[in-house]
Amino acid sequence: MTAETTIKRPRAGRIKGGRRTILTIGMLAAAAYFLLPLFWVLVASSKTSADLFSTFGLWFSGDFALFDNIGETVTYDGNVFLRWMGNTLLYAVTAAGGGALLASLAGYGFAKYRFKGNRAMFMTVLGAVMVPTTALAIPTYLLFSRLGLADTPWAIILPSLINPFGLFLMTVYVQSAVPDSLLEAGRIDGAGEFRIFFQVTLRLLAPGFATVLLFTLVNTWNNYFLPLIMLNDPDLYPITVGLARWQGQAAAAGGASGDLVPLVITGSLLSVIPLIIAFLFLQRYWQSGLVTGAVKQ
């Protein structure tokens, strides 16, 4: 028995070491897969129009033109890029904040209240998660057009407030993060339901709220098809539709030789920066919020 044990231990150690090596290689490959496009955008944004198609794509050229490209991108066509960026911030921040709040309220209601049709309505929400948003774009446009809201900021903000996946996520999170005893204690003290939610429950939901907030922010920020259908006024375009318009103009002007190509790439780089900042800011709520509101039994 002793001899067999001494023989098996090195083999187990080698197996674990091999698994760690495979996992490490897999993680590095995944990191490279996600970071390589971002690195390419950074490198390409630092090149002139001539160097962009004549030098190696994954490294910098001798003429570092990043700041010149940023200046041209921001000031081109009467600072229209800044207008598009402001529109995107308005749509994304409003939709993310309102959508996360609505998802928290609805998730709290499904998790902590029992009413007629509760289960049927929740199953409807689960079914709505499987419906692609692109399939709803045309019916949404027809509805908003009839209401006179097409080609307005509301045509982008209002549909983005509804997030079935966020509602489902908050329902599950409320069930595990908010004890019924805490709610009963608030009711015994005479607090109303909305006061209990905003002053007690919402603090416990910080990690889930931040997650839904970030998901909605990213979805609205990257949304292209809905603004393309809803908006006709270029002054209302978000950054996605605006950059696509520039790309179309560059293709019409001669494709790779168009002077707008560096501006499109630099604009793509600038449009990613707010999302990175939002992620870095919100991740602390995921970490610290996991232990917030713990109740001693």
Query: What are the pLDDT digits (tens) for 89-110?
Result: 999 999 999 999 999 999 999 9
Q: Could you tell me how many residues make up the chain?
A: 297
Q: Give the position of tokens 């998901």.
A: 215
For residue range 164-195, list pLDDT tens digits in order.
989 999 999 998 888 888 888 988 888 888 89
> What's the pLDDT at 17?
67
Q: What's the average model confidence in pLDDT over 242-270? A: 82
> What's the pLDDT at 286?
62
For residues 160 and 140, the answer to whether their CB atoms sit within 8 Å is no
158 CB-near residues (< 8 Å, 6+ apart): 144, 149
Q: In terms of C-beta density within 10 A (0-12 exposed, 13-18 middle, 19 or more buried), how is residue 117 classed?
A: exposed
> What's the pLDDT at 229?
93
- Topology of domain 51-289 in CATH is MetI-like fold (1.10.3720)
The neighbour count for residue 297, using CB atoms within 10 Å, is: 5
> What's the pLDDT at 248?
87
Residue 289 has pLDDT above 60, yes or no: no
The vertex-13 CA angle with 10 and 14, nearest 5°, equals 90
For residue range 207-251, list pLDDT tens digits in order.
889 989 999 999 999 999 999 999 999 999 999 999 999 988 888
- How far CA 116 is from CA of 1, 110, 120, 142, in Å, comes to 65, 11, 9, 32
Q: Give the position of tokens 């209240």.
A: 113
For residues 104 and 170, the answer to whether their CB atoms sit within 8 Å is yes
Q: Give the position of tokens 């232990």.
A: 291
Could you tell me the pLDDT band of residue 74, with boundaries at 50, 70 and 90? very high
Residue 139 has pLDDT above 70, yes or no: yes
- Extract the tokens encoding 45: 């944004």
- State the Cα–Cα distance between residues 277 and 248, nearest whole angstrom: 29
For residues 270 and 36, the answer to whether their CB atoms sit within 8 Å is no
Q: What percent of the chain has pLDDT over 70?
A: 88
Q: In terms of C-beta density within 10 A (0-12 exposed, 13-18 middle, 19 or more buried), how is residue 123 classed?
A: exposed
- Extract the tokens encoding 192: 């109303």
Could you tell me the pLDDT band of residue 114, with boundaries at 50, 70 and 90? confident
For residue range 5-64, list pLDDT tens digits in order.
444 455 656 666 678 888 889 898 998 888 888 888 988 888 887 777 776 677 877 788
> What's the pLDDT at 49?
79
Q: Which of 91, 87, 92, 80 is nearest to 249 (CA)?
A: 80
Domain boundaries, the chain: 2-45, 51-289
The sign of the torsion formed by the CA atoms of 54, 59, 63, 64 equals positive
Q: What's the average model confidence in pLDDT over 100-121? A: 90
Could you tell me the pLDDT band of residue 256, with boundaries at 50, 70 and 90? very low
> What's the pLDDT at 216?
93
- State the Cα–Cα distance between residues 213 and 101, nearest whole angstrom: 9
Q: What percent of the chain has pLDDT over 90?
A: 38
